[in-house]
Amino acid sequence: MKRAIAGLMALTVIAAPALAVKDTAGTTALVAAPVALKSDMAYLLLRTSTAKSGMMSIRHVLLRIPSAQEIEDYKQGRKVASNSFVVDQDKFLEDGTMRTLLIEVPPGEYLFYGITIGGGGLVTCNCLGTVKFAARAGVITDLGSAYADKVHKPSPIPHLEDNLGPQMFQYGLILGEAVVPADAATPVPAALKSLPVERAAYRAVGQFTGGSSVNRLPPIPGVLAYVRGKPVDPTTGKLPD
């Protein structure tokens, strides 16, 4: 995992500019349920909050962990496809207090990389603690719910209600993100019930170097905890591999 994260950091050198030009990293936001799933693509089901900064929406950024071949290609100076993308919450299956999204993505391991505003470059990365998950080809992976908002003041979003303090705002815009995994009570859109859906198996990710503004996901029971500021796997009490 450490090797993969090191490669991930190398590829974020090109991922950040890619975000600025809205490179979707091979992903497609769907506005209708597909009749059938493509066997060579994976699908992410996500319910997301719709907080804004001014007129611009606060959005999640996901990042696919690069393969060993991609890492080697990057080291050799060969062109490598971007591996991060902004979740487009304006394209959705269902609207409401939370928007339900379905995104077609290349198969692989992904992590909740951070938050941006309005679809531009990364503003805040979850470099101090986040989670990863596998997205298998031919399957919809249910990510549960994700929340994002400004956190220099109390947020109306329950999962982000803690206040970092107004004094933090003088140093820049502070954004935060929270993930709540799907469980047996999480509703799946009726249009998807005939398709294969599996809940994401989240795993904690250790700290890594990232953007100029950093934060971390709040603890996730059974998945992500913190000991002396370090992310740990609560089932083992150890730092992630």
- Each residue's pLDDT tens digit, 199-222: 999 999 999 887 678 889 999 999
The pLDDT value recorded for residue 162 is: 59
pLDDT at position 159:
75
Over residues 22-48, the pLDDT tens digits come to 668 889 999 999 999 999 999 999 999
125-151 tens-digit pLDDT: 999 999 999 999 999 999 999 999 888
The answer to the question of residue 4 being in a domain is no
Residue 201 in domain: yes
Q: Is position 3 within any domain?
A: no
Q: What is the pTM of this model?
A: 0.87
Q: Considering the domain boundaries, does residue 228 fall inside one? A: yes
Query: What is the extent of the structural domain holding 103?
Result: 28-232
- Is residue 102 one of the residues assigned to a domain? yes
- What pLDDT was estimated at residue 14? 44
The better pLDDT of the pair 160, 181 is held by: 181
- SS3 for the chain, per residue? CHHHHHHHHHHHHHHHHHHHCCCCCCCEEECCCCCCCCCCCEEEEEEECCCEECCEEEEEEEEECCCHHHHHHHHCCCCCCCCEEECCCCCCCECCCCEEEEEEECCEEEEEEEEEECCCCCCEECCCCEEEEEECCCCEEEEEEEEEEECCCCCCCHHHCCCCCHHHHHHCCCEEEEEECCCCCCCCCHHHCCCCEEECCCEEECCCCCCCCECCCCCECCCEEEECCEEEECCCCECCC
**157, part of any domain:** yes
Residue 49 lies in a domain: yes
Q: Chain-wide mean pLDDT for the chain?
A: 85
Total domains in the fold of the chain: 1
